[in-house]
Chain A
């Protein structure tokens, strides 16, 4: 039975506002734009939004377009998985036409770098499209050694200079410090909310969490923080979320469809290593450090993503995280050709086996989902496997 649409969420004004933003991203962004700020859209996990906020501009998280994707089909090779196709479509179609002043992509995946080059070329080839000015944040994310740290400092400084060019003035340390504080507060609120997802007494379903977290992206940070705090208080007394608690990794889910399928099959995502989820709030910028370095470190030190991390690092961090959140299983869900996780899997599986945590790997998925029944069947079988393993 699906766990979505529980009474507790329906009765929560905080959840309703977050859900409205999640369901109506375009309208939510339009509302934010009423302030007159220029928009800087972000593609990839590692665009330092603190800098954008410090400049008095509006950072907007780009979400993929979930509808027909003729532009992606026309311009992209099949090696671009469903999530990347959705992001590209959202830039190219009319969904956000006239709303993008700038677009910043980050080196969070090699596919994003390809999209950066494609978009630059499309700007040259098809100027009538009026694509926004495009920038790239080239953080070194694969390793966390000093070489990467030094580069990331330099990249942050360059990005600050770039944004200063856009806003036409110097960004002060005070402005950066203030933005860091606002973002840290927001992430703290997200973490407190997410804590209610963890363990066997999870109060929040995966789809509710995804709705609230991703919905908060489309509100002013201060307002989002307020709502999340309110929601956390309320959710403490929500009825327990049913389903076997699992950790999710693989292709990022920007809609609740897959999580809801899992819930209906007896699984509940209690954490994920994805930006639309727990990974967004995994790491604060250290307020004790000079602001530019603090921002660089925030992106340098975050939880390793599969796209930009070594197998050995993930073979430690993922099981640790699973233990930390009390997940009873792990689901790797991969879109077709977004399948680098395959190389991670055997080592993670071995580590999880020692912990008695079963794992399910689902490959070759598309948007729209091609065979929901088969997926539901596999989720349900896995839920039974996990329950069996517990016995």
Chain B
């Protein structure tokens, strides 16, 4: 049941890097608009597509999930989802994927975040769920864009501890057949981009981009490791989540590397000075699921009362473990194929997801896990039973929140706070004492 908002949704910013990335993204978006208005192509891509190609080809683009997060953070989700209902769809499903399509239905698009989303000319989609594919099709039509759909191919090689293989032995991790398939898909995508934009992919530039990605993600790895081993933690997820994600959408740029480095150095400085984000830290929590972009303050809600700090989300975690592919020079397209063929599996395919969450919970000295399960997402199916069981068996109590991470209207602060408090009071505190 939706409730009238009577709680703080903005988190307290403790670091400088998120302020830099936040300020930059608005400035960058305005610059992007100018480029598009000057007639440049404009790509709209899914988070699970190889945006590095567009980066290397200097094709302006935005990421679907980034835009959804911006709409949510600006508290504009409810407005857009109501537009879907008015157009004959529904306002209560697929909110994470449908925000941009909803924007296309807005009679006053300029009233959207930062003047609204410009109309993309190109859509790059990865075949996802039945609804996701249809939403992308509707968007393509609404924006008058041209679409390239990257076909999906299932993973039939199940390897334990994938993170031990992903950087250097990715052929072994993903399997030849699947990488061959994705490499071919990427080559088709490159041809599509070259044909539609008149720009060419310079492989030297791609290698530079991919090396930048490795450097950027390398800093995230160091940051993650630093937070993991430092008690009390120097920062919490509210400090890192925006800093990481805003720069991740510019993955492969010098700016992205700088911001990742800046985040690491800030965190390192805090560690060196012995500064704690939650000085009375008694409990460390891990968040599984999409970020609560409309209510980042939620993560800080438990700090004062319980000394409970959310120290981990998938955003920094996956940046640290999911992207790095060494030896890109040998075949840059193949290395990129290995990244994108496997990226979704990290979160959605057992046992890749469950093993990784357990590993991260151990390394981050976690006391309990909060697992957000979106009930209005038909693509939600990560074998959460297995994730919960694996975590619980490893000694990490789990609390499940069933909620929509994109639509503030449906959020029940009271119920969600109560659920996390129940976890802390009844399962974590008794265990620790």
Contacts and interface: CB of A to CB of B under 8 A. Distances in A.
A140 B385 CA distance: 29
B377 A79 contact: yes
A94 interface: no
A140 B379 CA distance: 18
Contact of B375 (A79, A138, A147): A79
Interface in B393-416: 402
Contacts of A116: 154
Interface centre among A116, A117, A345 (most CB of B within 10 A): A117
A338 B87 CA distance: 20
A339 B378 contact: yes
A138 B385 contact: no
Interface in B105-129: 127-129
Interface stretch (A5-13, A55-63, A179-187, A305-313): A305-313
Task: Classify the interface of chain B: helix, strand, loop or mixed.
Answer: loop
Interface in A138-161: 138, 140, 142-143, 147-148, 151
Contacts of B90: 342
A140 B151 contact: yes
Contacts of B127: 142
Nearest to A344: B134
Nearest to B135: A343
A205 interface: no
Interface string A327-343: 00000000001111011
Interface string B136-165: 011001000000010101111010000000
Contact of B350 (A107, A117, A345): A117
Contacts of A111: 129, 381
A73 B133 CA distance: 28
A343 B138 contact: yes
Given A143-B149, A311-B138, A340 B378 contact: yes
B24 interface: no
A342 B93 contact: yes
B386 A125 contact: yes
A367 interface: no
A77 B373 contact: yes
B41 interface: no
Given A77-B373, A79-B377, A110-B379, A346 B130 contact: no
Interface centre among A74, A109, A337 (most CB of B within 10 A): A337
Interface of A: 74-80, 107, 109-111, 113-114, 116-118, 120-121, 124-125, 136, 138, 140, 142-143, 147-148, 151, 306-308, 310-312, 337-340, 342-346, 349
Given A151-B151, A306-B130, 13 more contacts: A76-B381, A77-B380, A77-B382, A110-B379, A117-B155, A124-B158, A142-B127, A142-B133, A312-B141, A339-B378, A342-B90, A342-B131, A343-B89
Q: Across the A-B interface, give the 5 residue pairs with the lowest CB-CB distance, nearest first.
A: A343-B134, A340-B130, A346-B88, A121-B350, A114-B381
